[in-house]
Chain A
Amino acid sequence: MENRLRVLRAERSWSQQDLAERLEVSRQSVNAIETGRYDPSLPLAFRIAELFGLTIEDVFESPSRRSSKAI
């Protein structure tokens, strides 16, 4: 799933480790989510969005909307 995690993190000058500590997950989890290799659970997606003061849709791109855009 596409997301804006890298951009949001860069805007705050946070390293992956900084973000991982704030979310209480491992750095490898942040890396996996950021690179789209792992889609977080809904509770973790909420935690990520709330940390940036955004909604989930502002952080993660809906796969269905993405495919409809392609059509």
Chain B
Amino acid sequence: MSGSMAWKRYNMRVIWLSLLYAIFLLGAIYAFKHQLLSGFVAYVAAILPALPIIGIFGAIGRYLVEEEDEYVRMLMVRQTLWASAIALSAATIWGFLQSFNLAGHIDAYYIAVVWFFGLGVGGCINKLTLGAPVGC
């Protein structure tokens, strides 16, 4: 989005959090596959992969606080609004389809996946409407 220090810090945070996510996820998959965990520890291990994802949401918030270029900040705000609109709409539609037995069950964490997809869509919309050089 930009070459600002805030953007570089954001990228570093996302890289580290993604690495942490991969480690926690692979660890949890291995532990549950081999039935190494039970009780409270199993709950902790199951939640651990979610924490870096939450961290990425936090990193985006931190970026919005740290970014000093108001136009670039506005672009990211627009992207997050599109992401939220797309993810919440998809979750609502799927929820009703599921309630009326017209669609199968999907794990709730896919909402986060759709949100990140929406972030990309928001970047494309910025590009199309404002000509902003945002990755999409």
Interface residues of B, dominant DSSP: loop
Complex contact A25–B130 (CB within 8 A): no
Contact of B4 among A26, A32, A38 (CB under 8 A): A26
Complex contact A44–B2 (CB within 8 A): no
Among residues 20 to 63 in chain A, which have CB atoms less than 8 Å away from a CB atom of chain B?
A: 24-26, 28-29, 32-33, 37-38, 40-41, 44
Complex contact A24–B68 (CB within 8 A): yes
Complex contact A40–B131 (CB within 8 A): no
B54 at interface by CB-CB < 8 Å: no
B72 at interface by CB-CB < 8 Å: yes
Complex contact A44–B68 (CB within 8 A): no
Complex contact B68–A32 (CB within 8 A): no
Contact of B130 among A26, A32, A44 (CB under 8 A): A32
How many B residues touch the partner, as a band? 10 to 19
With an 8 Å Cβ cutoff, the count of chain A residues facing the other chain is: 12
Q: How far is the CB of B72 from chain A (nearest CB, A)?
A: 6
A29–B73 Cα gap in the complex (Å)?
10
A37–B132 Cα gap in the complex (Å)?
10
Complex contact A25–B131 (CB within 8 A): no
Q: Which residue of A has the minimal Cβ distance to B75?
A: A28
Complex contact B133–A44 (CB within 8 A): no
Complex contact A28–B132 (CB within 8 A): yes
Contact of A29 among B3, B72, B131 (CB under 8 A): B72
A37–B133 Cα gap in the complex (Å)?
14
- B residues near A44, Cβ cutoff 8 Å: 70
Complex contact A26–B72 (CB within 8 A): yes
Contacts A25-B70, A32-B132 supplied; 9 other A-B pairs, CB < 8 Å: A25-B69, A25-B71, A26-B2, A28-B2, A32-B130, A33-B71, A38-B74, A38-B130, A40-B71
Q: Would you give 8 A-B contacts (Cβ < 8 Å), ordered by A?
A: A26-B3, A26-B72, A28-B71, A33-B71, A37-B130, A38-B74, A41-B70, A44-B70
